[in-house]
């Protein structure tokens, strides 16, 4: 736990200041590998969506609805594992490198347990989707897709725990390489299982989910193999010893729990709006998935900058450099704003071309193209608020941002989306504008909070 203390002006002046250009260079050096690694995971879902879309709009709708509970459970699990990178980096920085192996094994245990719990819950997917008002057809197809995702949940969460461990040691490249390369295997398995090639049954959306599950286990095997064969593994205390790490696991959970809550609030909001889209019908749901998948893919780029900004702010806080913390944060925010403006313009201009990558169904394209215009606005505010949140985490401020998320998503976005759903002019475009409103609210309030925190206090461990 961190203790807040106000840094005096004399203390701030005594710290050598890093020029803006160095903040930009150092942030990019940290951000780029994380960007590509996280993007690799979402590219897999994008490829699934594109290939499923080619098998029919109905199958794309089934895949889309299965992602709502799947992504929410996945994000909750990832939040619980964030402590892995923090404790590993602390141990490495403090010279206690032999403790890193225990942190990794504790992260694997939490990931495996969470994966089993969430995977078991996903086996009841059809009943849950029916409970949330989906049609029998959507619930049946979505439930079948969820059931195929379920066995892969322990694998993907343990893979992410291992990726966090390696990033904590300053080795983001292995996770990035595995995540990007795995898309080739996933695409091949999609070709076999979605369309029924090489004697396999034609499974549609469920086939895409099964392909992803098989790919996730392969990813985990490769990354664990890398860790267990690292030449310096002995230095980090890496050994498959399954006992004696209870206190470390508790530390990981104490760090991860509040971050998991914040992530769950956002993800559950998106999942709820996806469920609302499903109540509009299969064609609107298929179109919604196209635009939402684009938002997800772009968001992974902002996650890289969010992680880098969090580290850079934390470094300045450790130096008791209030000015440096503020500059590092606003530099990251400025960088993501510039990046997202360019991407938003590209999406707005290329909407028809992007939509055609997912489907050739004219009815779905008619709905997806205007939704992509709103998505271009969403990526701007979504990316920016993610980096502001990362900057706040770097200062140790995690409680109020969670409350801001609760307000923005559950007092603004979800009620607005429900009002759209109940209106006579209900459409997926209206649902996306509801998401935009909540994300804008979050971005403004989080930026206001960051300005206050860096103006008055820094948090020193």
Which pLDDT belongs to residue 222? 96
Which pLDDT belongs to residue 7? 41
Which pLDDT belongs to residue 147? 94
- pTM for this prediction: 0.76
Which pLDDT belongs to residue 26? 67
Which pLDDT belongs to residue 402? 83
Residues of the chain with pLDDT under 50: 1-14, 242-243, 459-461
Which pLDDT belongs to residue 6? 42
SS (H, E, C) the chain: CCEEECCCHHHHHHCCCCCHHHHHHHHHHHHHHHHHHHHHHHHHHHHHHHHHHCCCHHHHHHHHHHHHHHHHHHHHHHHHHHHHHHHHHHHHHCCCHHHHHHHHHHHHHHHHHHHHHHHHHHCCHHHHHHHCCCCHHHHHHHHHHHHHHHHHHHHHHHHHHHHHHHHHCCCCHHHHHHHHHHHHHHHHHHHHHHHCCCCCCCCCHHHHHHHHHHHHHHHHHHHHHHHHCCCCHHHHCCCCCCCCCHHHHHHHHHHHHHHHHHHHHHHHHHHHHHHHHHCCCHHHHHHHHHHHHHHHHHHHHHHHHHHHHHHHHHHHHHCCCHHHHHHHHHHHHHHHHHHHHHHHHHHHHHHHHHHHHHCCCHHHHHHHHHHHHHHHHHHHHHHHHHHHHHHHHHHCCCHHHHHHHHHHHHHHHHHHHHHHHHCCCCCHHHHHHHHHHHHHHHHHHHHHHHHHHHHHCEEEC
pLDDT digits (tens, 9 = 90+) for 242-262: 445 677 888 888 777 877 887
């Amino acid at each position: 736990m961190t203790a807040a203390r106000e840094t005096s002006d004399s203390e701030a002046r005594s710290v050598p200041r890093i020029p803006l250009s160095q903040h930009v260079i150092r942030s990019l050096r940290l951000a780029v590998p994380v960007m590509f690694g996280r993007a690799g995971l979402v590219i897999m879902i994008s490829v699934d969506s594109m290939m499923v879309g080619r098998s029919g709009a109905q199958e794309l709708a089934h895949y889309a609805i299965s992602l709502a509970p799947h992504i929410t459970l996945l994000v909750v699990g990832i939040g619980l594992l964030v402590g892995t990178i923090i404790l590993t980096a602390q141990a490495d920085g403090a010279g206690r490198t032999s403790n890193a192996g225990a942190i990794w094994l504790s992260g694997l245990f939490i990931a495996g347990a969470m994966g089993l719990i969430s995977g078991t819950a996903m086996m009841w997917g059809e009943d849950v989707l029916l409970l949330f008002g989906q049609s029998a057809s959507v619930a049946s197809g979505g439930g079948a897709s969820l059931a195929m995702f379920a066995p892969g949940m322990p694998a993907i969460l343990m893979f992410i725990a291992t990726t966090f461990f390696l990033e904590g040691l300053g080795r983001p490249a292995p996770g990035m390489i595995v995540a990007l390369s795995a898309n080739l295997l996933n695409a091949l398995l999609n070709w076999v299982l979605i369309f029924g090639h090489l004697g396999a049954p034609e499974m549609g959306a469920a086939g895409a989910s099964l392909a992803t599950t098989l790919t996730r286990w392969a990813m985990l095997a490769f990354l664990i193999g890398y860790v267990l064969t690292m030449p310096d593994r002995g230095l980090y205390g890496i050994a498959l010893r399954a006992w004696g790490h209870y206190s470390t696991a508790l530390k990981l959970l104490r760090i991860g729990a509040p971050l998991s809550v914040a992530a769950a609030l956002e993800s559950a909001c998106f999942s709820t709006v996806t469920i609302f889209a499903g109540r509009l019908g299969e064609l609107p749901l298929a179109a919604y998935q196209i635009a939402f998948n684009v938002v997800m893919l772009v968001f992974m780029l902002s996650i890289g900058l969010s992680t880098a900004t969090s580290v850079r702010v934390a470094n300045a806080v450790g130096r008791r450099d209030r000015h440096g913390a503020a500059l590092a944060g606003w530099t990251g925010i400025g960088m993501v704003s510039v990046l997202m403006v360019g991407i938003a313009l590209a999406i707005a201009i290329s909407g028809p071309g992007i939509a055609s990558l997912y489907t050739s169904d004219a009815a779905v394209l008619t709905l997806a193209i205007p939704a992509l215009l709103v998505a271009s606005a969403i990526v701007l505010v979504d990316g920016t608020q993610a980096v502001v949140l990362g900057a706040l985490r770097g200062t140790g401020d995690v409680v109020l941002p969670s409350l801001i998320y609760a307000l923005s998503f559950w007092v603004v976005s979800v009620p607005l989306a429900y009002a759209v759903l109940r209106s006579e002019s209900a459409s997926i475009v209206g649902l996306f504008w509801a998401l935009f409103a909540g994300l804008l609210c979050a971005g403004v309030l989080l930026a206001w909070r960051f300005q206050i925190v860096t103006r008055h206090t820094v948090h020193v461990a």
